Amino acid sequence: MDFRKEYRSRMSRLGAFRTSEEFEIQKTVAAIDTLLRRADDLYRGARPESCFGIDVDNLLARAEAHLAALERGEHPLAGRFTEPGVAFVDHCFIEHKGVMHVFYNRSWVGYDWPERYTDTIGHATSTDLVHWEIHTPVLAVSPTDFGAYQVWSPAVIEDGGKFYMLYTGVNENVAQAACLAVSDDLYHFEKYPNNPVYVPGAWSNWDPSRWSDCRDSFCLKHEGVFYQYVYVSIPQADGPNAPATGIISSTDMIHWKEEGIVRMPSCTHAAESPFVIQHGKNWYLFYTNCGKGTSYATGPSPLGPWEEQGLLFGARTDSPDPAHVPSCAEVFQYKGKWYISVCERLPGWEQYLEIYELFWNEDGSVRVGELLR
């Protein structure tokens, strides 16, 4: 393959779409542009810190597929929202005055998070869940607090007229901890000055000097108590750390008490992005079963015990990367209908928000409907 010829040809063909004012085209152009420029960097000798799908051939192929679709008059990313050029990762929704707000990790197409940092939390709003208005990011890293390296995984809850955001602060050693920020309007957040508000206890061997799992917080309030669910890992004497969901409780969002941990027998790699909701008499725990997809379990209370119910979204592509599955599920109701969101990390580090209708069956199971577009 003559890389320079292939690269120049695609860049030249892309020019026909660069002046479009249509957001669907702008979003696709940004993805193509980033994939091609990243491929050029690698061709010139850049060494990626990630190995999953970030290589010249894959980046060129993905760019070509999107470009050819545009040339056929199609919108290849229809039904997938992101800021142009941004990989949309962990996120949360909250409705306020009839408007749906979404907050999300701002990663980057073509780059794994150790290469181009996820250092801001993005914000967008919608009244139909299809068309989104992008706002200024609400949170960023700071050298003076725990999340000096990166910030991940927002979760927002309203209480007493204020909005509380739990997010994952990540230090320079990739030790993760639950941090807090507060807002009056969902557009401006102030970090709690004594972050983090939670790190796992001694049972976890959490250590700020090395990679330590404590991320992807979710929070709900039940009978006057806040419950936070967070991905953690458990040391094992006979092998690597085991994935688990930690459950902690609080009455003020600042001081947290450990309530126990949850292990899913089928989950062997990671149990990321826990999300818990009550519907009818049942409680539902949705989570990312890395390597398999978006799964859920049911239980009689917010503390469980939990019984696995299987996959809702299975892996769509063959890849050695266990994160290449539909992930980061959130379940919510808006204008009388129920929805579930997922973000699949595609090879080349493309990741977009997808929202599907969700249906609750009489037997307590759930069923996924069509993608909104």
Give residue 72's pLDDT: 98
Give residue 52's pLDDT: 65
191, 195, 198, 201 alpha-carbon torsion, rounded to 10°: 170
Give residue 319's pLDDT: 66
Give residue 367's pLDDT: 96
Ranges of residues in the chain whose predicted pLDDT is under 70: 50-53, 317-320
Give residue 53's pLDDT: 65
Give residue 346's pLDDT: 87
282-324 pLDDT, tens digit each: 999 999 998 899 999 999 999 999 999 999 998 776 666 777 8
Write down the domain spans for the chain: 3-71, 86-371
7-21 pLDDT, tens digit each: 999 999 999 999 999
Domain 86-371 part of CATH 2.115.10.20: yes
Give residue 238's pLDDT: 75
